[in-house]
Amino acid sequence: MIELSHVSKTYAPRFGRSARALDDVSLRVAAGEVAGISGPAGAGKSTLISLILGHALATSGSVRVDGIEPRQFVEREGVAYLPQPLTLPSRWRVVDALTRLAILSGVRASETRSRVESVVGLGAESQELLRDLIVKLRAFDRAILIASRDTAELQRLADRVTLLDRGRVRRAGVSRPATPANVETVFHLVLHHGAEHVLGVFPTAISLGRGAYAVRVTLAALNRGLRDLLDRGALLAAVTPAHAAAEVTVVQTLDEVVS
């Protein structure tokens, strides 16, 4: 879904010298994958994400998202991006800031006040909500790219981690081995509608609330069950291995997320 091929990015000269942020970087993130990019400050992580978002153009090489130019993809499908730095005027109160951000996000005026009041003062609960969000974002048709300076923490969340240093790939990420087809594994299912059919298809499923279920099955049984659910008119929002939920606690230490 996301593919960079021999990409380099050089910024215009400042004080008589040009700056090369990326140097011959190749990277591929498949649909359904959570990939990590790690490296110290100045490694080129933010530049790489800017290229994927279409905010900047590569000096050489190609960047494609779903086979097309990043800007074309963003305009056609949209991309979610969570940056580390977010600067707001210090004079704004929390409620003021959230109200303005809600307006920019397209929240209806009639819903803005209730939405703002529901999230102010969440404290520790906000961390749990963020963990749940990352778990739900992981889906078979979505690619997620996370950039962080903390390699050890990132390895717990991502399927593979690629290390950048001074704009070059120093270590290419290696994907986790696939789950054996004949081994029972816990999967999380999230349904948009049709949750009433889950227990009929997966009798041992455990409800996690809000249309989410945990099921322990083999891959073959999972595929049969999913087909059965779809035949019954259910609409699936996500199917993910449960290991993603166990590792999502690291999100509070991550710098940038793009999905």
CA–CA–CA angle 157, 125, 140 (5° rounding):
35
DSSP β-bridge partners for residue 81 = 258
User: What fold does the segment set 185-246 form as a domain?
Assistant: Alpha-Beta Plaits (3.30.70)
pLDDT at 8: 95
How does the average pLDDT of the chain come out, rounded? 80
**Domain extents in the chain:** 2-85+132-178+247-258, 185-246
Please check the confidence at residue 247 and state whether its pLDDT lies above 50. no
Q: Grade residue 60 by pLDDT with cuts at 50, 70 and 90.
A: very high
Least confidently predicted of 39-53, 75-89, 238-252: 238-252
At 93-147, the pLDDT tens digits run: 888 888 888 888 888 888 888 888 876 754 555 545 655 666 677 776 778 888 8
Kindly state the DSSP code that residue 68 receives in the 8-state scheme.
B
pLDDT at 87: 74
Percent of the chain with pLDDT over 90: 27
pLDDT at 34: 81
Query: Using CA atoms, how far apart are residues 252 and 117, in angstroms rounded to an integer?
Result: 23
pLDDT at 160: 86
- Which architecture does CATH list for 2-85+132-178+247-258? 3-Layer(aba) Sandwich (3.40)
pLDDT at 246: 31
Length of the chain: 259
Please check the confidence at residue 239 and state whether its pLDDT lies above 80. yes
pLDDT at 133: 64
Query: Using CA atoms, how far apart are residues 205 and 219, in angstroms rounded to an integer?
Result: 15
At 10-48, the pLDDT tens digits run: 988 766 678 889 999 999 988 778 888 999 888 999 899
Least confidently predicted of 52-56, 220-224, 253-257: 253-257
Query: Using CA atoms, how far apart are residues 49 and 255, in angstroms rounded to an integer?
Result: 12
pLDDT at 148: 82
Please check the confidence at residue 254 and state whether its pLDDT lies above 50. no
What's the average model confidence in pLDDT over 202-217?
A: 89
pLDDT at 9: 94
pLDDT at 116: 84
pLDDT at 209: 85
What's the average model confidence in pLDDT over 159-175?
A: 84
Question: In Å, how far are 162, 166, 181 from 152, measured between CA atoms?
Answer: 12, 19, 29
Query: Using CA atoms, how far apart are residues 225 and 35, in angstroms rounded to an integer?
Result: 28
pLDDT at 249: 25
Q: Grade residue 4 by pLDDT with cuts at 50, 70 and 90.
A: very high
pLDDT at 248: 30
